[in-house]
Amino acid sequence: MTKTRFIGPLIGAVLLAGTGLAGAQNWPARPIHWVVPFPPGASADLTARLMSPRLAEQLKQPVIVENRAGAASIIAMETVAKSAPDGYTILFGNPTVVTSPILFQMSFDPVKELAPVIQLTAFHYVMLKSNSFAPNSVAEVLSLAREKPGAVSCASGGGMSEFGCGLLKALGKIDLNQVRYKGNAPAMNDLVAGQVNLLFDITSAALPNVKGGRVRAIATTSATRRPGPFSSLPTVAETVPGYEVTSWQGVLARSGTPKEVIARLNREMGIALGRDEVRKRLTDLGVEIVGGTTEAFAELIQSDNLKYAKLIREYHLRVD
């Protein structure tokens, strides 16, 4: 009797596993939705829309970019975290995967409920100043801020640009007036107008404004000098030891997605990322193309989880 009692459930489990395996082998059989946590025109959106038609061609299924901006990327992350674990809803991720759970009360844990697929890019920021702001170097900024506490303003539109201001304040031991905006675009407008003194922004946003003479670049936020449009600039770390603000873009799926689907996504994303036209466009935007294995991306997320938790708690940083 005991053996008979378990035959049915055992057969059911085998059939269910077989169905899942077959589904993974036939993936994709319908359109894939790529959820981007930023509005159209943002760097992440440009990258996703650059890659999506190439992926669609390779996968022979539409890859639909969906913009779900706001709430420190929580809206987009939750959309994917609550989706079916089948690879048909994927996330365009960035370090908010690890920072948001530390900063906000959330109904889910993206570090646990999202599965790394591939890192796409890595990049740093550029420290910009208003043309009407006298200091022309990091050392001069620090000197003025110490001479006149609270007089130097640093604008930010949330995300890692917030860390730019926060770390400069903490490691530089200065009283910096942080001015927060709903996005770096309005922050840049006020920097151009001379309403604020400093702003940390990505290369693709900084470059046209610097070339146009609307703002001036002082330094970069990488740990060491890197190739790119601002390679001749010093780093903030050359004046403020230990200073580094970098970011990344990557793809994540719902935890529990079959390994075969994750592996296929990693492979196809890597192929699309390696196309000449994609590489050229991304390089022009001032980002470093990474690619690589799922395991390497998972290690980066775990490393960032520890790093940003320490920074946020130690320096009371805030990311809006």
Q: Which of 301, 250, 258 is nearest to 91 (CA)?
A: 250
The answer to the question of residue 5 being in a domain is: no
Helix extents (H) in the chain: 2-25, 43-59, 74-81, 96-103, 110-113, 138-147, 160-171, 184-192, 203-211, 259-273, 276-284, 294-315
The answer to the question of residue 1 being in a domain is: no
pLDDT at 160: 79
CATH code where residue 220 lies: 3.40.190.10
Q: Which helix (H) or strand (E) holds 126?
A: strand 114-130
pLDDT at 6: 41
Contact indicator for 294, 93 with CB cutoff of 8 Å: no
The answer to the question of residue 282 being in a domain is: yes
The answer to the question of residue 17 being in a domain is: no
Number of domains in the chain: 2
- Kindly state whether residues 205 and 279 are assigned to the same domain: no
pLDDT at 23: 63
Based on the number of CB atoms within 10 Å of its own CB, is 180 exposed (0-12), middle (13-18) or buried (19 or more)? middle
CA 79 vs CA 32, 90, 188, 207: distances in Å:
14, 9, 30, 33
The answer to the question of residue 168 being in a domain is: yes
- Main-chain dihedrals φ then ψ at residue 32, nearest 5 degrees: -105, 135
pTM, full prediction: 0.81
- Kindly state whether residues 144 and 70 are assigned to the same domain: no
- Kindly state whether residues 182 and 269 are assigned to the same domain: no
- Kindly state whether residues 145 and 52 are assigned to the same domain: no
Separation CA 26–CA 80 (nearest Å): 21
> Is residue 272 classed as helix, strand or coil in its secondary structure?
helix
Q: Which of 75, 78, 83, 89 is nearest to 30 (CA)?
A: 89
pLDDT at 310: 86
CATH code where residue 58 lies: 3.40.190.150
- Kindly state whether residues 172 and 101 are assigned to the same domain: no
The pLDDT profile of the chain, 320 residues, written as one tens digit per residue, is 444 444 454 455 444 445 455 567 899 999 999 999 988 887 889 999 999 999 999 999 999 999 998 787 899 999 999 999 999 999 999 998 998 888 888 999 999 999 999 999 999 999 999 999 999 999 999 999 999 999 999 998 766 787 889 889 989 999 999 898 877 888 999 999 999 999 999 888 899 999 999 999 999 999 999 888 899 999 999 999 999 999 999 999 999 999 999 999 999 999 999 999 999 999 888 888 999 999 999 999 999 999 888 888 887 765 54
- Kindly state whether residues 144 and 199 are assigned to the same domain: yes
- 218: domain range? 124-238
Separation CA 200–CA 155 (nearest Å): 8
Which of 238, 268, 294 is the C-terminal boundary of a domain? 238
Which of 173, 205, 238 is the C-terminal boundary of a domain? 238
